[in-house]
Chain A
Amino acid sequence: MAYAYLFKYIIIGDTGVGKSCLLLQFTDKRFQPVHDLTIGVEFGARMITIDGKQIKLQIWDTAGQESFRSITRSYYRGAAGALLVYDITRRDTFNHLTTWLEDARQHSNSNMVIMLIGNKSDLESRREVKKEEGEAFAREHGLIFMETSAKTASNVEEAFINTAKEIYEKIQEGVFDINNEKRLKNGRKLSCCYTTTTDASISALRTQVKDRGLWRRSIYAVARNQRQLNGT
């Protein structure tokens, strides 16, 4: 259960490109053809091993709908990795990549690793975006690229894990300075973090002590009441 790092991922891209399906395939190893529209953000988590180290991926699967943009943008901060997804059978989803990329760069850490994903590679007959185009876009903007199929699970595992490997390398190189970036101004922890720090543990203790104390008193009084009843 214990892990060396916790990486926060965000999955972004137009609505209907298969973001939630990719997540479900990665966390549950199953495919669900009909999916409810994501509201705001949903979550998934999975443990992976890189270089013998346990890493927990905490994945934020955002809503693709335009109307949720202002909300989902709030969730970018603190992400170590982003999966930017388009649908190879829909040219418009590819055309919108620049906007998504700008958004992501503006609202997150500059060192965030971005993986470009052309999803639905099983639908070769309906392909509108060539693999080469995806590769070219990725090269131009410094992204990693992969084509995946959430349906057949092709490359899904790889997409998530290769992103983690890239992040891990950045940590080893010292690009992600864990100590400095660990906490943002508002106190939220950044993606890459070791387990437990002293000051926060104390806060945790406070919470625990307080809550437990509160409850102890209530049980105490309940029992006292009980005894009084028995006595009478």
Chain B
Amino acid sequence: MSDSEDHSDSGANLGAQESGSSEQPPSPVTSPEADGENDVDAVPVRKTRRRPENKPLAESELPSTDPKKEGDPANASAKTTVAQGGWGYWGSWGKSLISSASATVASVGQGISHVIEKAETSLGIPSPVELSTQVKEEEKEYHEASSEGNGQDTSAVSGALGMFSSLSNVVQSTGKTVITGGLDALEFIGKKTMDVLAEGDPGFKRTKGLMNRTTTLSQVLREAKEREEKQTGEEVSSETDKKAHYGVLFDEFQGLSHLEALEILSRESEAKVKCVLTTLSGHELAQLKEELELIKDQFSLVEFDDEEVDEKKDDSGTEFVKELTDALAELHIATAADKLDKARKSACEWVAEVSALGQDSKPLENASEEEAQSTLDVPKAWTAEDVHSSAIRSLAELTARSIEQFHKVAELILHCDSHQVTAVDQAKALSQITVILCKEILLLSKKFTSCLTSVGSHEKGDILNPLITGVFLEASNSASYIQDAFQLLLPVLEMSHIQRSAGQ
């Protein structure tokens, strides 16, 4: 996908639609949106959503029957590859993921706790414990394999890859919804028609959420957090519960505030861009639209190379810091990844410490805790609840720092009109940063769940499962927040581009 191709593509689009769409007031855009919403709501959605609930597969049930029900065209090829390690399967799977995203939105009436519960019970299917045990085992196998120095990593590693690939799907799915983030801008710039969008974006509901002027992400999060606080207050629940409330922690790390501030900047930039566009006409307008289009393209093309991820067992995190620092440098603004690195490090160190302890104590089984205490001089033995709390806390912190990073980037991009770099290149770097951050979130959740499994090996499944599921759920939420924050940067870059062009 070379630049020149992009260029001609969007140019053609512009040419075709310019006359019609530039005249469109904002209102017509909202009506197809409403239609799309109904469509999405009514048919494919419920179906997808119910599947896991109505058919809580017992673990013994044959998994091979499942892929058929996905109705994926790519199934045939997927099946064959699955046997070899599940690679091909993941590729096609992204599609069903996207539809499920909009699917689940349909069921609004359910309470959060109910949903969590649902998720947990219906998740009894995959048995999270089993899942992460396997991840753990495969990790071991992987290490053994690599220490032997041969390259036979096919099926053993693929389980762990599963995690990564599912991340790639998350990213892919937002890749689509990415376009939706800039929908408002679409009104003015007149890119593809709403029909095309609705068709190509099954997660259209999400668009609505982003377009809805009366709610913002930070507000939604704040409300959710307040609910959580209220609930904990009313129930006078145990301390561990309180400790492990993601929303509350996210706010404590100032994630909400940074998000709110980022939203303000995003919104104001958006308004300014609109304003500039209304003052232009003819060739100037067409040219600017074309330029803005190029920036926007970077927000819909989130590339994620899962093969690359699997190769690296980035335990030290040096790879993460290096990638992040390099990508930040591409932005040509004075910002560093210090805080993010610190948050990641402290989380990983905690896991390493607890894991080391868990491994030492494994052979001793029941006596493990006392033993660990005496040998390693740890003040207390870690329980599964401790690990869970720490996981939620770490995820909340890393996410808050990620949002903070994006907020700082927005401020600095608006602050200094760097001529060393184009807005398109900055957009490229930012989409790369988004992928790096999401990858790290998923890696971290994987580490924590492995840790949970080893620490809680003597716990019953009904205690351990919800904890593991909880970690996965919040990791997914974290990735969503980061991707949403990334979308907020589009208007900022557009505005910055206009400033820079004017300054030349």
19 contacts between A and B (CB under 8 A): A1-B233, A41-B261, A43-B258, A68-B415, A71-B414, A187-B212, A187-B215, A195-B227, A197-B223, A207-B220, A208-B115, A209-B105, A210-B101, A216-B123, A219-B469, A223-B125, A223-B130, A225-B89, A228-B64
Stretch of A14-22, A117-125, A152-160, A198-206 on the interface side: A198-206
Instruction: Identify 16 new A-B residue pairs, CB closer than 8 A, beyond the known A204-B227, A225-B89.
Output: A2-B226, A39-B412, A40-B412, A187-B213, A205-B112, A207-B224, A208-B477, A209-B104, A211-B480, A213-B104, A215-B476, A215-B477, A216-B122, A218-B476, A220-B123, A229-B155
Residues of A within 8 A of B268 (CB): 74
Stretch of B159-167, B279-287, B386-394, B453-461 on the interface side: B159-167
Residue A222 CB within 8 A of the other chain: yes
- A residues contacting B by CB (< 8 A) are 1-2, 39-41, 43, 45, 58, 60, 67-68, 70-71, 74-75, 77, 183, 185-189, 195-197, 200-229, 231-232
Residue B327 CB within 8 A of the other chain: no
State whether B257 touches A210 (Cβ < 8 A): no
State whether B219 touches A189 (Cβ < 8 A): yes
State whether A228 touches B86 (Cβ < 8 A): yes
Residues of B within 8 A of A205 (CB): 108, 110-112
Cα of A56 to Cα of B205 in the assembled complex, Å: 33
Given contacts A40-B411, A195-B229, A222-B163, contact A186 B83 (CB under 8 A): no
**Nearest CB on B from A28, distance (A):** 13
Residue of A nearest to B120 (CB): A216
Residues of B within 8 A of A201 (CB): 223-224, 227
State whether A221 touches B115 (Cβ < 8 A): no
**Nearest CB on B from A19, distance (A):** 16
State whether A196 touches B230 (Cβ < 8 A): yes
Stretch of B92-100, B291-299, B363-371, B429-437 on the interface side: B92-100
Residues of A within 8 A of B127 (CB): 223
Residue B472 CB within 8 A of the other chain: yes
Given contacts A204-B223, A224-B66, contact A213 B261 (CB under 8 A): no
Cα of A218 to Cα of B479 in the assembled complex, Å: 13
**Nearest CB on B from A6, distance (A):** 9
Cα of A1 to Cα of B480 in the assembled complex, Å: 26
Cα of A229 to Cα of B257 in the assembled complex, Å: 45
State whether B230 touches A203 (Cβ < 8 A): no
Residue B428 CB within 8 A of the other chain: no
Cα of A113 to Cα of B106 in the assembled complex, Å: 43
Residue of A nearest to B57 (CB): A224
State whether A219 touches B158 (Cβ < 8 A): no
- Give the number of A-B contacts (CB < 8 Å): 226
Residue B147 CB within 8 A of the other chain: no
Given contacts A60-B257, A207-B209, contact A231 B223 (CB under 8 A): no
Given contacts A213-B49, A219-B131, contact A226 B100 (CB under 8 A): no
- The listed residue (B205, B223, B408, B473) touching A212 by CB distance below 8 A is B473
Taking chain B's interface residues, is the majority helix, strand, or loop, or is none over half, making it mixed? helix
Residue B489 CB within 8 A of the other chain: no
User: What mask results when residues 225 to 262 of chain B are scored 1 for a CB within 8 Å of chain A, else 0?
Assistant: 01101101100000000100000100110100110110
Residue B399 CB within 8 A of the other chain: no
Cα of A186 to Cα of B219 in the assembled complex, Å: 11
Residues of B within 8 A of A200 (CB): 215, 219-220, 223
Residues of A within 8 A of B473 (CB): 211-212, 215-216
Residues of B within 8 A of A75 (CB): 261, 264
Given contacts A219-B131, A225-B159, A228-B63, contact A187 B112 (CB under 8 A): no
Cα of A162 to Cα of B326 in the assembled complex, Å: 47
State whether A1 touches B242 (Cβ < 8 A): yes
Given contacts A203-B223, A210-B205, contact A187 B216 (CB under 8 A): yes
Cα of A189 to Cα of B103 in the assembled complex, Å: 29
Given contacts A205-B108, A209-B108, A228-B64, contact A196 B226 (CB under 8 A): yes
Residue of A nearest to B248 (CB): A1
Residue B75 CB within 8 A of the other chain: no
State whether B215 touches A224 (Cβ < 8 A): no
User: What mask results when residues 55 to 88 of chain B are scored 1 for a CB within 8 Å of chain A, else 0?
Assistant: 0000100011010000000000000001101100
Residue of A nearest to B442 (CB): A218
Residue B134 CB within 8 A of the other chain: yes
Cα of A225 to Cα of B260 in the assembled complex, Å: 39
Residues of A within 8 A of B337 (CB): none
Residues of A within 8 A of B86 (CB): 225, 228-229
**Nearest CB on A from B2, distance (A):** 32
Residue B221 CB within 8 A of the other chain: yes
- The listed residue (B49, B126, B209) touching A226 by CB distance below 8 A is B126
State whether A212 touches B108 (Cβ < 8 A): no
User: What mask results when residues 186 to 207 of chain B are scored 1 for a CB within 8 Å of chain A, else 0?
Assistant: 0000000000000000000110
Cα of A40 to Cα of B406 in the assembled complex, Å: 12
State whether A2 touches B230 (Cβ < 8 A): yes
Residue of A nearest to B101 (CB): A214
Residue B222 CB within 8 A of the other chain: yes
Given contacts A196-B223, A196-B227, contact A40 B261 (CB under 8 A): yes
Residues of B within 8 A of A223 (CB): 125-128, 130-131
